[in-house]
Structure 1
């Protein structure tokens, strides 16, 4: 029999801030540059959130105006007065003022809406920092990341995210804020404001094309690392071709942002959430599908104790924008993640950009200290032939003329149809219970989070029925039978999607895991990632790709022992701090995403080379894969470990991964050796390997 403790979805944990009034301004004259910045950007996003029943699951926070004092945390009083004056202007006067700036239009309601955008962003920061919610999203308009101290720019009036960072530092005394800008345009306004400030780490990827794409700035390149005390705290990843997709974006996170961010240890994350970097957008011309933003959000939620504020920036294909907004909010609500689509192989241009960023930032970050220093090539120069070809294909303005032509209208319709079918494939119901556990002793169950469904012992008849389907020779002993019972009881619920994930006490983990893996393939799974932490051997054939077996162990393995589907990682743990970030981000995670498993099994065996913090980090980051289906099998019960892993799986809170420590030279050499050995077989490693 089983005792059920139902998991209640954390609907109260995510804020959503939106107000129809921010749709009350629009372009009043013909302007092919600005005509894509329309009220429907907000309306379609909010309607799609309602369609997926996400609005009711969020905490609604009222919108307020940003005050003049708050706006002047970033902008000058002179600039503020100019924007205020637009409230009483006629159309001719508005048009004249708009021409003073690059790609901006004004309306009598612009000032009011811009103040609401600032206030909504600050309301979100207050809600997160006060603990009212864990995280949230502000759907605002106008956007902000291009605007500067004395200038509107690129549809942006007040720099919402920059104001939020200054506000959080002043009101809450924060000393480390991470701003992640995944809009397809460079947020030069944020860069200018914080380029000398080491308390704000700014990361931006953006369409650059060797300075041929708007905003056409030399300081948008990879070697613009910040100035004075801010050197190393400005990270630009320039995309030098269109068509960047899911694997390119993930590679930039694995090999640049996440290592630096974990070392930086932010207290708050602000996301400039521009979705013109998504598929079908006429501005970006990139190919990232909406679920990619779910995975990016998931990674960021592992930082700053989950305190994350996403603020809308760009996004001009309404279907792509609205679906991507929904995937972001679903992830903030801690729904299981959909599998990410597409081949996991970053393109050569992405590899070049990422490696150059790593080289440029080597002097400033311990996580990059062992990287080679020379960039692959100077991205600021190009052959005349390539330059001419680029100029014939790429607009030098944020809006290309062809965006309103017949060709682009046809492409937009094609994208709409693709997304309609694509989202039906990847969206799935959330299991009523998120996490299950099977514990031998009822007394041990009390230290699990209340949200866990506990599977208690079976009767003798239930055990007999269970074992009848397996090799009885393997489970003759009572101890082995109990272990198998625990593993299969939870595994079956995961496979049937009755629960999302689980944790199991298995005193004979090797036998139980071997049978569990065979059970997975009988069920119809094609790929299972099995990571064993400690000394344990499984008698299984691994050559057909159905199992990717990774062993994190203390004993030294020879290079010949490794093969594509059997990888041994010899790791020496820092007993006082967590040095496992280097291995997880730089090796394990890229391979796992390359493999795209249907299920993950993590087995904690004897003589393990990882402590609780390292195991929690591994479990937490891997939850983005396999629709978050993950089974953790622990051979030797340790209360602290079980509690940490269970907390990680439930998503009740972000576990403490411990103090960041740079990897030892011995560990770095081990990872480098493995990267070089497997770089051709697992393409996601190539961004961190130099030939």
Structure 2
């Protein structure tokens, strides 16, 4: 027997080596679930079972995508658009050259020749009437062919930023018609996606008003058309620098349309100067939560600011919304050089913004030209957008840092007002404004500010009503923009995707167990699927090759290479004995050759991509590699192919930044070890960890492992601590951690350790990621590194799951439309905890993560009173409460208006307390009623009642109390919250149960005894938002609005987002007070008769 190395020596107390610890590490069934199933079987066993039962096909979506391949991109435009212009102002920015320059630049890049040209057409009046009044349509029609310039200019003065031309009516009909036609062609699958190069623009055109160069609302009309022909959900992304207030208005109460706008606002001082453009305008009625405004309160926003919006807000919400159509109101006035926007977006970033949205809605995306008034950046940005629609690689945009502080505030404000409606936005921790901050806690305090006077002129200027740049500024911008364009690499390799595969890798097999899960059929099945889906003929097939010893040394030491090379000389018995030395491996006489073939074949893919022959690549190889470290095979892995490939790219092509994304369910401990001290490789892994109990059974996959020396910060682990993770959790991991860091790192090559054992049905992973979700992950990474993206097969042990998954990834690389993921994607709390742990560790290394670790107030700090005060300057009697957030003093308005203080005191001296929603506006109650004791008033002797009344009357008023304690408020020694006097949901309060209220009752869901609330409608007890948010979930599911806290006996209304204090609540509060303190709660509501009928 040969003498094995020291690896076979065990220390005393060491656990015995197991044949395959990975196989034994499957999650055990929940005992409670097993018992429930047995009870159900006993209960229903005597009943006749149905002959048929529905078993969902977990691969149906992927299977149905077989024939869903990329088709052409459409473009629609009309030469007539060049006729519309301002006749009395030849320098007007909304000019024909905007249209001509876009067509010219797209033609120079050869983009139009690659598109399907759609014939232009005008909109029918019946379609216009759906969103615009007949009077407005008739008025515009009256200008048709009118050559009376005085009349046209006088008419224009009645509207904000409008001019009329004799052809304006025809061009407006044509612009709307072309947009609708484009959307119609996309919805009918005649084209994949498309762009409407139209003018005049439309997103400011209101139902009964022309506004902001707009006459008919092109995008809104197209969205309405899509809804009418069967599309159920439409996402409108408006990246024009001006708020598309008209589009917002048209769908403000419609939950079928999610409107998402990023616009310059500057607290209302920027046009269109509307209060409704701020972040707290979130929709009404059914549309509440479906309107997103991201206000830009400063100029100079850059690529990093917009990408932060995409990663923190738009992508999570878009995936939760799951649209069937995406419309882009594509204004380019945020691009560099535009005097209207004064922002600094590069033309190239628009391709990144768009590409990340193109995997939504089965690829149904329509881009519609809106604004943009610096001709060169407009034309270049529009051309970059069309390149993205055509599927060309996104040009690089450099390393992106964090968003500016002003942008960070806006993002956090939006999250604050929308997190109640979108579960995907609930990553931030919550704090109470009633409690001082913890050590090192970073808080965000939302605030509203509206600085515009709100006064509209009776007559609008028709000349010179736009910003004009100085010659020196234009000269500077021209030089800067020319340099940006010249340095932008517009790569388009001959082959979109290359593939390597060799059946000889199947020679590696297990002598003892022919059915071992790491079996040869893993790769042959994938290859067959690629063929069955018709993908092989669309791929550039590469020849395989063996990796040399010198190349193996990129990742492994010589002793490991020599030891593996000796396998082909061993007997079967020796090979079986040898595997016992290592953790979860097996050996065959052909193992060394297969492993060398796997690594060498991956290097062929790297060469093809780096030489510009192929844009991206797929390596269907085995044995896998990411567990193999410098000197050991491990976890079915012999040589670390991806690590070898990364070093090969660095040494042979001079790369300085290689990104490895490892989404195998097992942590790639080998890859991490190899690059642990290397800053040239950023290793990011999302894997199942289970506190170190999941394979490879060590702590290497913890979030706290970040690298060492020069490599510190370049190892990023996202460890799942439970199974059952699915699409939602991976969407969150990518949007919150992987993509932000990747964009800051700015890789030159992206390698994916593409294990598919997180896929649904895998025998080891215990997770449920769908095959199509892996396709989406691939698509998210494709804009990086000029599209240089390579997938290398790692694990995955359900043959069907890995075959469908790799097929979907390959389709994504080819640009095929991807199936929509399931609705309502939102990560579980365990995943959020894991992501937040990674953020807390890595924000010191990656500046783009810093804003994400701030916490948000649990209370509603944007009351209706505050919103009103933001419209009108606060009265002189208003006080300022200093709230400590992040260790600094930030001003937060605490409304202390005179009228409020006259009506409120600590003892509630006033008797005018409306309760019934129907009676809120009617105080005509009889005097007799006002002097009747309330039905819920506690019984007490007249002496006690009189004494209580006397004590109440001697208490200070609220104004006096706050005035006396102002310094304590400023010092945060105490906090003040003024609850609402009433709310429309009070009539829903039910009488307390006969058994009363026990404040010691734990949460009925998780049994946690801390911070519980009781529902005042059904009287269920569930935990608060600081624990597991079960009461919030109860509200979302049942609609029950009012809950009482066991901690401080306050009452919260979810729909009103406010604390409530009203005598209707006394019975419940008194019962809780009795349970908590053993005494009754003092009555402090006066003697109003309450009528809830």
| TM-score > 0.5 by shorter chain | yes
Deviation at 1:508, TM superposition (A): 3.6
Match of 2:853 in 1: 689
Q: Could you report, residue by residue, the CA deviation over 1:294-347 in whole angstroms, capped at 9, with x for unpaired residues?
A: 001001101101100000000000000000000000000000111113542211
- Match status 1:100 vs 2:182: no
Q: Could you report, residue by residue, the CA deviation over 1:67-111 in whole angstroms, capped at 9, with x for unpaired residues?
A: 111111210111100000011431111111111110000011000
Q: Report matched runs for 1:434-583 at 5 Å.
A: 434-441=496-503, 445-448=527-530, 449=535, 450-458=537-545, 463=546, 466-467=548-549, 469-471=551-553, 474=561, 476=565, 477-506=592-621, 507-510=623-626, 511-522=640-651, 523-532=653-662, 533=664, 534-536=666-668, 537-538=670-671, 539-555=673-689, 556=691, 557-563=701-707, 564-571=713-720, 572=722, 574=724, 578-583=728-733
Of 420, 423, 429, the residue aligned with 2:485 is 423
2 CA distance for matches of 1:428 and 1:577?
Answer: 33
Deviation larger for 219-228 or 532-541: 532-541
Deviation at 1:368, TM superposition (A): 1.8
- Match status 1:141 vs 2:199: yes
- Match status 1:376 vs 2:520: no
Deviation at 1:586, TM superposition (A): 1.3
Contact 1:246 1:342 in 2 (8 A): no
Q: Could you report, residue by residue, the CA deviation over 1:35-55 in whole angstroms, capped at 9, with x for unpaired residues?
A: 111000000000000010111
Contact 1:79 1:151 in 2 (8 A): yes
- Match status 1:413 vs 2:577: no
Match of 2:227 in 1: 169
1 CA distance for matches of 2:100 and 2:658?
Answer: 41
1 CA distance for matches of 2:375 and 2:351?
Answer: 18
Across the aligned residues of Structure 1 and Structure 2, the Cα RMSD in angstroms comes to 2.5
Match of 1:4 in 2: none
Does the residue aligned with 2:682 lie in a helix, a strand or coil?
Answer: strand
CA 1:573–1:52 in structure 2 vs 1: closer, same or farther (change >3 Å)? farther
User: What runs of 5+ residues in structure 1 fail to find an aligned partner?
Assistant: 1-9, 389-395
Deviation larger for 172-181 or 447-456: 447-456
Deviation larger for 283-292 or 599-608: 599-608
Match of 1:593 in 2: 743
Match of 2:467 in 1: 403
Contact 1:600 1:629 in 2 (8 A): yes
Match of 2:828 in 1: 664
Contact 2:400 2:743 in 1 (8 A): no
Deviation at 1:248, TM superposition (A): 0.3
Deviation at 1:381, TM superposition (A): 3.0
Deviation at 1:661, TM superposition (A): 3.2
How many residue pairs are counted as aligned between the two chains? 662
Deviation at 1:456, TM superposition (A): 3.8
Does the residue aligned with 1:363 lie in a helix, a strand or coil?
Answer: coil
Does the residue aligned with 1:364 lie in a helix, a strand or coil?
Answer: coil
Of Structure 1 and Structure 2, which has the larger fraction of its residues in helix?
Answer: 1
2 CA distance for matches of 1:181 and 1:512?
Answer: 44
- Match status 1:23 vs 2:85: no
Match of 1:622 in 2: 781
2 CA distance for matches of 1:282 and 1:164?
Answer: 29
Q: Could you report, residue by residue, the CA deviation over 1:435-458 in whole angstroms, capped at 9, with x for unpaired residues?
A: 111112296534321311122444
Deviation at 1:259, TM superposition (A): 0.7
Q: Report matched runs for 1:352-371 at 5 Å.
A: 352-371=409-428
Q: Report matched runs for 1:340-355 at 5 Å.
A: 340-341=397-398, 343-355=400-412
1 CA distance for matches of 2:745 and 2:616?
Answer: 19
Deviation at 1:614, TM superposition (A): 4.2
Deviation at 1:658, TM superposition (A): 4.5
Q: TM-score, normalised by structure 1?
A: 0.91
1 CA distance for matches of 2:400 and 2:741?
Answer: 12
CA 1:576–1:583 in structure 2 vs 1: closer, same or farther (change >3 Å)? closer
Match of 2:810 in 1: 646
- Match status 1:631 vs 2:790: yes
- Match status 1:191 vs 2:323: no
1 CA distance for matches of 2:119 and 2:539?
Answer: 33
Contact 2:333 2:340 in 1 (8 A): yes
Q: TM-score, normalised by structure 2?
A: 0.58
Higher relative contact order (CA 8 A, sep 6+): 1
Contact 1:142 1:157 in 2 (8 A): yes
Match of 1:6 in 2: none
1 CA distance for matches of 2:703 and 2:491?
Answer: 43
1 CA distance for matches of 2:265 and 2:83?
Answer: 32
Contact 2:775 2:818 in 1 (8 A): no
Q: Could you report, residue by residue, the CA deviation over 1:412-453 in whole angstroms, capped at 9, with x for unpaired residues?
A: 232222222322221323111011111122965343213111
Answer with 1 or 2: which has the greater Rg: 2
